[in-house]
Structure 1
Amino acid sequence: MLNNIRYEYYESVDSTNDRIKSRAHENENQGLVISAGQQTAGKGRIGRKWESPSHDSISTSILLKPEEITLEAIPTITVVAAMAVRDALYRIYGLNGLIKWPNDIVLDGKKICGILTEMEMKDGKVWFVIVGIGVNVHNKSFPEEIAFKATSVDLELAKAGGTHGHRQELTKEIWNSFAKYYNIFIETQDMSGLKEEYEKYLANRGNRVRIEDRENSYEATALGINERGELIVEVEGEERIIRTGEVSVRGIYGYI
Structure 2
Amino acid sequence: MHKKLNQSFLDLVSYLNDGQYHDGNSLGDALGVSRTAIWKMIKKLETYDIEVESIKGKGYQLKNPLMLLDSSRIASQLTCKSIKLDVFESINSTNQYLKDNNSQTAIHVCTAEQQTHGRGRLARKWHSPFGQNIYLSLAYRFKKDMSELMALSIITSLAIRKTLANYDFLSEPMIKWPNDIYYANKKISGNLIEIQAESNSDTRAIIGVGINVNMCNANQDQIDQNWTSMQLNLGHAIDRTELCITLINQLIDSLQYFEHAGDASFIEQWAQYDYLYNHNISLIAFDKKINGIARGINDMGHLLIEDTNHQIKSYAAGDASLLRKRI
Shared fold (TM-score, shorter chain, > 0.5): yes
User: Which TM-score applies when normalising by structure 2?
Assistant: 0.70
Which of 192, 211, 217 pairs up with 1:135? Answer: 211
Report what 2:230 is aligned to: 153
Matches within 5 A, 1:7-46: 7-24=85-102, 27-46=103-122
- The correspondence of residues 72-91 of structure 1 with structure 2, limited to 5 A, is 72-91=147-166
What amino acid sits opposite 2:159 in the alignment? Answer: A
How far apart are the structure 2 equivalents of 1:73 and 1:188?
Answer: 12
What's the CA shift string for 1:206-254, capped at 9, x where partnerless?
111101123211211111112211111211211111113xx10100048
Q: Is the 8 Å Cα contact of residues 146 and 195 (structure 2) preserved in structure 1?
A: no
Give the number of aligned pairs.
Answer: 243
How far residue 17 of structure 1 moved from its aligned partner, in angstroms, is 0.8
Identical columns (%):
26
What are the residue-to-residue correspondences of 1:1-256 with 2, within 5 Å? 3=80, 4-24=82-102, 27-67=103-143, 69-94=144-169, 96-123=172-199, 125-144=201-220, 146=223, 149-158=226-235, 163-189=236-262, 191-235=263-307, 236-244=309-317, 247-253=318-324
Structure 1 portions without partners, runs of 5+: none
Letter in 2 for 1:242: Y
Range with bigger deviation, 144-153 or 47-56:
144-153
User: 1:154 Cα deviation (Å)?
Assistant: 0.6
1:142, 1:150 within 8 Å by CA — same for their partners in 2?
no
Between the aligned partners of 1:231 and 1:86, the Cα distance in structure 2 is: 19
Q: Distance in 1 between matches of 2:83 and 2:266?
A: 22
Secondary structure of 1:156's counterpart equals helix
Aligned residue for 1:165, secondary structure, equals: coil
CA distance in 1, matches of 2:282, 2:135: 29
Render the CA deviation track for 1:7-44: whole Å, top value 9, x for unaligned.
Answer: 321100111111112221xx331222110000011111
User: Contact conserved, 1:232 with 1:242, CA < 8 A, in 2?
Assistant: yes
Distance 1:172 1:241 in 2: 36
Normalising by structure 1, we get a TM-score of 0.88
Q: Is the 8 A contact 2:140 2:206 kept in 1?
A: yes
1:34-64 Cα offsets, whole Å, 9 max, x none, are: 1000001111101111110111111001111
SS of 2:299 mapped into structure 1: coil
Structure 2 contact 145–203 (Cα < 8 Å) conserved? no
Shift of 1:181: 1.9
Q: Structure 1 counterpart of 2:283, which letter?
A: I
**What residue identity is the alignment partner of 2:321?**
R
The 1-side partners of 2:324 and 2:265 are apart by: 33
Task: Note if contact 2:158-2:266 (Cα within 8 Å) is conserved in structure 1.
Answer: no
CA RMSD of aligned residues (A): 2.0
Which consecutive residues of structure 2, in runs of 5 or more, have no partner in the other structure? 1-78
Give the 3 Å change call, closer, same or farther, for CA 5–193 of structure 1 in structure 2: farther
SS in 1 for 2:91: coil
- Aligned CA distance change for structure 1 residues 74 and 36 (closer, same or farther; 3 Å): same
Higher CA-based Rg:
2
**Whole-angstrom CA distance in 1 between matches of 2:254 and 2:199:** 28
Instruction: Look up the equivalent residue of 1:218 and give its one-letter code.
Output: I
Note the C-alpha offset of 1:140: 0.8
Q: Write the deviation string for residues 164-188 of structure 1: whole angstroms up to 9, x where unpaired.
A: 2121111111121112222222224
Cα pair 2:279 2:324 within 8 Å, conserved: no
